[in-house]
Amino acid sequence: MHESPTTARAANGDAAARAEAMRAEFEARRQRALAMGGPAKLARRREQGLLNARERIDRLFDPGTFIESGLFATSAAPEDRDRSPADGKIAGFGKVEGREAAVVANDFTVMGASSATTNARKMGHIKRVATQRGMPLVFLGESSGARMPDHMGSRGMGLQLGNDGAQYQRLRETPWASATLGLSYGSSSWYAVMSDFSVMRKGAVLAVSSALLASMAVGEEVDAQELGGWKLHAEVTGFADLVVDTDEEAVDAIRRFLAYLPSHRNEAPPVAAVPGGSGEAMRDILGLLPSSRTQVYDVRKIVRAIVDRDSFFELKARFGKVAVTGLARLGGRTVGIVANNPLSKGGALDTDACEKITSFLVLCDSFNIPLVMLVDTPGFVIGTEPERKRAPGRIMNFMNALSLVTVPKLSVVLRKSYGQAYLNMGGGRNSDEMAAWPTAEISFMDPQFAVKVVHGLSPGDEGFDAARASMDRASEVWDIASVYAAQTVVLPEHTRDYLIRMLDVHELRMTRGVGQHLMRAWPTSF
């Protein structure tokens, strides 16, 4: 049957009108969702110099690549539907330096970004997609915790909590990075401490629950910064890998962290171009090491000289300072650096440093990042205090983790390597290659104390000087090289070239750079 031209025109007009109406409703609903908690709350944030959740996402992803999931989601409680755009947690996918990543950004202007039924479903979806499709997951955290009164009562608990047995399971399939950008309680804190990288903005608070609730619980005023401020997490708990001053710096730090990492555990990290000028400082590197064995120095200067120019990204700089951990590149390849830092406590390893190194070994092994260890330690800190801090357990967790590492491990002894710490820092076949500078001294204990223990002599006693000189000679690098426990002696200025060549040699060719991830279920904090 033929349609008359008039009928067809009318139908077209009708379709155009319907499309127009559809677009208008879509656009109106979209705009309401994009308005977040409304202009007044957004203006207040701007005045405080803070970015809102959508601005943070814009900064995280390459321009134009963000695709949102759940823009039209709202609270499941009918009375809150109209005041809960995106249900307070904005989610989706975008690209970081051209590579796909997933994000959940808490929108504090919507019901304090509190956790509730709908946004828990969003979060679950984003986590599943990130894990199954192999991309990093980013949390931009700022949340008042569980939404009230939704969670109250046994019915509330039954409906809200515990409906996903894997919610807080971590098997390190893909990298997780989190930023704590304001008050952060409950799940926002849980995800921060479960992440592989956690950056905190000064002024933010990361804690189990609010200072108000804590004050009620202990019956005295609790200061929010003391409860969970940046100083606590940078220096005491070690939960903050990095502390920054602004939201912008925090988001930039996540982009930088992800640039060193593979998208998932079944690929090698990306390779970058080697910046011009890399290795230029090698010629003078010996000048960074004091000539006297009793003088200290900052090992980070040596690290920066060895790695590709400006590539050193230090993690937990203010925690467990006797050890330095960080990501860097050598010849364009991502490496994990573990170095003793004599500048702090002479480089003697304490329990905080053991935990810091252990968690870093887990990070590197889980994401196929070869390790480079720079050794200068007189040993573990001994005394009553470390024993009370469970030093033997910490030292053995560190040792166990090192033995479970399946990525290439290279170690270079710069100066001291004594006792059990010799093993923990890669000696005794605990690294794939151990090299030593001619300045290295390796023994069971410092010669000063060894003369007393072995010969019963103290400084000033007859024969002390001769015994000491003999001990010093026996600690020199040549003896350990002669029994092939050090695979080579390397001149300081050749260290960078040596490490780059050894990374070539030890490349995991059989598995395209992928390790076994034996520590994928290791605890995410300590």
Partner 1 sequence: MSRQELNSEVTGSVWQITAQPGQRLVPGDTVMVLESMKMEIPVLCEDGGTLVELLVAEGESVAEGQAVAVVVP
Applying CB under 8 A, the residues found at the interface with partner 1 are 294-296, 318, 321, 342-346, 348, 378, 383, 385, 446, 448
CB of 241 to partner 1, least distance (A): 17
Nearer to partner 1, 298 or 497 (CB): 298
In the complex, what is the shortest distance from the CB of residue 387 to partner 1, in angstroms, rounded to a whole number?
14
CB of 342 to partner 1, least distance (A): 7
Enter the tokens of residue 286.
Answer: 């010996």
Q: Name the minimum Å distance from CB 312 to partner 1.
A: 16
HSE-up of residue 276 (Cα within 13 Å, Cβ side):
0
| SS3 labels along 222-250 | CCHHHHHCHHHHHHHCCCCCEEECCHHHH
How many CA atoms are closer than 13 Å to the CA of 291, on its beta-carbon side?
Answer: 1
Judged by beta carbon, residue 369 or residue 451, the one nearer partner 1 is 451
**What does DSSP assign to residue 62?**
P
Whether 490 and 436 have beta carbons less than 8 Å apart is answered as yes
Token code pair at residue 526: 């300590």
Q: Which two tokens stand for residue 298?
A: 């900052």
Q: What is the closest distance, in whole angstroms, from the C-beta atom of residue 285 to partner 1 in the complex?
A: 20
Give the integer Cα–Cα distance in Å for 18 and 35: 26
Pair type for strands 197-201 and 176-185: parallel
Two tokens, residue 247? 């939201």
Q: Which residue number, 346 or 492, has a Cβ lying nearer to partner 1?
A: 346
Distance of closest approach, residue 378 Cβ to partner 1, in angstroms: 7
| Nearer to partner 1 (CB atom), residue 395 or residue 405 | 395
N-terminal to C-terminal alpha carbon distance within the chain = 77
Q: How far is the CB of 246 from partner 1 (least distance, A)?
A: 17
> What phi, psi does 311 have (nearest 5°)?
-95, -5
Cα separation of 81 and 29, whole Å? 12
Cβ closer to partner 1: 66 or 444? 444
Strand 313-315 vs strand 323-330: parallel, antiparallel, or unpaired?
A: antiparallel
Q: Which is nearer to partner 1, 459 or 523 (CB)?
A: 459
Q: Is 105 helix (H, G, I), strand (E, B) or coil?
A: strand
User: By the 8 A CB rule, do 409 and 503 touch?
Assistant: no
Region for residue 98 given its phi and psi (left: phi exceeds 0; alpha: psi -120 to 50; beta: otherwise)? left
Closer Cβ to partner 1, 229 or 370, answer by number: 229
Minimum gap (Å) between residue 407 Cβ and partner 1: 32
Peptide bond before residue 262 is cis, with ω within 30 degrees of 0: no
Q: How many whole angstroms separate alpha carbon 454 and alpha carbon 448?
A: 11
Kindly state the smallest distance separating residue 317's Cβ from partner 1, in Å: 10
Residue among 308, 506, 317 nearest 405 (CA) = 506
Residue 165 vs 383, nearer CB to partner 1 = 383
Query: What H or E segment, with its residue span, contains residue 11?
Result: helix 5-34
Task: Rank residues 44 and 231 by Cβ distance to partner 1 and give the closer one.
Answer: 231
Ramachandran area for residue 3 (φ above 0: left; ψ -120 to 50: alpha; else beta): beta
Instruction: Pick the closer one to partner 1 by CB: 71 or 288.
Output: 288
d(CA 300, CA 49): 33
Closer Cβ to partner 1, 20 or 385, answer by number: 385
Nearer to partner 1, 394 or 496 (CB): 394
**CB of residue 343 to partner 1, shortest distance in Å:** 7
Q: Encoding tokens for residue 220?
A: 């005295």
Q: Give the nearest distance from C-beta 224 to partner 1 in angstroms.
A: 16
Beta bridge partners of 137: 102, 176
CB of 67 to partner 1, least distance (A): 42
Judged by DSSP in three states, 155 sits in: helix
